[in-house]
Amino acid sequence: MKIRNLIEDWPKSYIKDEDLASFFKKSDDARYSFVKRALKAGELIRIRRGLYLIKSKIKLSLPDEFELALIIYGPSFVSFESALSYHGWIPESVYTITCASAKRAKEFKTPVGVFSYKRVPEENFYMGVERIETQESVIFIAQPWRALADFIYTRKKNWKNLEQLENDLRIDKKTLIESDKEFLKLLTEKYPSHKVRQILKKFLKEIVKISQEKL
């Protein structure tokens, strides 16, 4: 079967160098030549080195940006504003896909959007990260409080209370009060930054107090 037919039958709208390698019987020269020709002809579109969009596929359906984010630069997971928006904690639409990474900060401007990666501690890296699988994709995304903890860590926030948090990110207080307090408590004990833990402890104390007053 021709290589182009194999690509047309590929289950995803993107393909990696290691996937292409299986078509060429480990002949790197043949693969390099094919990719060069396909890029020139517009049949493949480079996202980054070693990762390409299949043009005929994206005419029908673009890849899931969150899934793509994990492939562009890893290990990583969707966090910060992207995760907060996904969970409905902040009202704004987020146009840059923001991710936490175990490696140094980096940004990729691609044909399908901008992907920004901020470094967070490697310790307990996947704590509070959900694996969400659909028929089309698999994504890893931070739970809201984990996304917020990462936000505090990387943006060096020093919120004193819930009101400052609400005003800064426009998070509804009801959302905070009804959030997963058990997981927030876990973060106050396990997030690998003393400063972040202390800020989260203030939030937890305030949330618990408000919850008890409503009983």
> Closest Cα to residue 122, out of 106, 139, 101, 91?
101
Task: Convert the pLDDT of each residue in 18-57 to its tens digit.
Answer: 888 888 876 788 888 989 999 999 999 999 999 999 998 8
Task: Convert the pLDDT of each residue in 81-119 to its tens digit.
Answer: 999 999 999 987 778 999 999 999 999 999 999 999 999
Give the C-alpha distances (Å, rounded to integers) separating 121 from 27, 149, 160, 192.
39, 11, 23, 7
3-state secondary structure at position 110: strand
Q: Could you tell me the pLDDT band of residue 63, with boundaries at 50, 70 and 90?
A: confident
| Contacts of range 39-46, beta carbons closer than 8 Å, 24 or more positions apart | 43/4, 43/7, 44/15, 45/111
The predicted model scores a pTM of 0.91
Q: Which residues of 191-209 are buried (b: 16+ CB within 10 A; e: fewer)?
A: bebeebbebbebbbebbee
Domain map (residue ranges) of the chain:
3-58, 65-214
Instruction: Give me the mean pLDDT over the 178-184 stretch.
Output: 96
